Amino acid sequence: MSISGGPSPVLVLEGVTVRRSSALLLDGVTCRVPAGACTMLVGPSGAGKSTLLRLLNRFEEPTAGAVSYQGRPLPAWDVLALRREVALVAQRPVVLTDRVLDELRIGRPDLDEDAAAALLGRLGLPSGAVGRATSGLSGGEAQRVCLARALAVEPHVLLVDEPTSALDAHATKAVERVIGELVADGMTVVVVSHDAAQVRRIADQVLVLEDGRLIASGTADRIASLQEGV
């Protein structure tokens, strides 16, 4: 998907700086996250990718600058409503209940069993997984259950921190396929990734961070050509 002249931005960062104690985590970042596209945040460890992701659902607050969602500054939104619209899936899968179905019902208590099974199936998990104990889940399965738990809330924007870092090739493919389907259905997805091949496979827009600064942005092909030219 072309970014220039593409869909209007759903999330906008204007000169965002995040400073914690003496550490500068983000330094004057200005960027736009287009609606209905997959934006990927890349860069070395400590570049500020996860901080940027956490800004978007107000887990972090900018020290300077502003973040807006659908044209309104984030503080103007009811924060609980915002987090249901802009869901975050953390890098480390954390299961909170004893049963997979209960896990999917944390943010959506009225979710019925069939819908839960369908959600899990979409992520490449067998339909029987809905009745399983969470204690028996592998790391990759737990990651996908956490993704399903966030999708159960039916967010408009999905923020995912390294969703496939603990997955095998089969599970990675399933998660990438789901991200592609979600974007095709109009969802905005922001993904932190270290995997250059994955960026080429699923990114519509790439934001490259280094030392808290946005050093490049554009389509995956443009970023790849820039890096090859270095």
Partner 1 sequence: MNAAVPGWAGVLASVSLVALTVVVAWRRRLRLGREITFAAVRAGLQLAAVGAILLVVFKHTGLVGAFGWLAAMTLIAGQVAGRRARGLPGATVTATTAVAVGTAATLGVLLVLEVIEARPRVVIPAGGMVVSGAMQFTAVVLIRLRDEARTARLQVEARLALGLSAADAFAPHLRSALRTALIPVIDSTKTVGLISLPGAMTGLILAGVDPFTAIRYQIVVMYMLLAASALAVLTAARLTERVLFDEAHRLRPLPDQSPI
Residue 149 near partner 1 by CB under 8 A: yes
Least separation in angstroms between residue 57's CB and partner 1 is: 7
- Which residues in 108-127 contact partner 1 (CB under 8 A)? none
Indicate the residue type of 184.
A
Applying CB under 8 A, the span of 30-38, 43-51, 123-131, 148-156 interacting with partner 1 comes to 148-156
Residue 150 near partner 1 by CB under 8 A: yes
Residue 107 near partner 1 by CB under 8 A: yes
As separate numbers, helices (DSSP H) first and strands (DSSP E) second, the chain gives 8, 10
Among 3, 90, 123, 199, binds partner 1 (CB under 8 A): 90
Residue 81 near partner 1 by CB under 8 A: yes
Among 8, 15, 61, 71, binds partner 1 (CB under 8 A): 61
Residue 57 near partner 1 by CB under 8 A: yes
Residue 145 near partner 1 by CB under 8 A: no
As to burial, measured by CB atoms within 10 angstroms (0-12 exposed, 13-18 middle, 19+ buried), residue 71 is: exposed
Q: In 3D, which of 143, 150, 206 has the Cα closest to residue 174?
A: 143
Sign of the dihedral defined by the CA atoms of residues 127, 93, 185, 59, in that order: positive
As to burial, measured by CB atoms within 10 angstroms (0-12 exposed, 13-18 middle, 19+ buried), residue 42 is: buried
Residue 23 near partner 1 by CB under 8 A: no
Choice between 60 and 204, CB closer to partner 1: 60
Residue 146 near partner 1 by CB under 8 A: yes
Applying CB under 8 A, the span of 91-99, 117-125, 128-136, 180-188 interacting with partner 1 comes to 91-99
Least separation in angstroms between residue 20's CB and partner 1 is: 9
The count of residues interacting with partner 1 (CB under 8 A) is: 23
* Interatomic CA distance for residues 111 and 196, integer angstroms: 36
Residue 94 near partner 1 by CB under 8 A: yes
Applying CB under 8 A, the span of 89-97, 131-139, 186-194, 201-209 interacting with partner 1 comes to 89-97
Q: Which long-range CB contacts under 8 A does 181-188 form with residues at least 24 apart?
A: 181/122, 182/151, 182/158, 183/36, 183/37, 183/38, 186/35, 186/36, 187/36, 187/155, 187/156, 187/157, 187/158, 188/10, 188/11, 188/33, 188/34, 188/35, 188/36, 188/37, 188/39, 188/156, 188/157, 188/158
Residue 76 near partner 1 by CB under 8 A: no
**Positions in the binding site for partner 1 (CB under 8 A):** 57-59, 61, 75, 79-81, 83-84, 87-90, 92, 94, 96, 106-107, 146, 149-150, 153
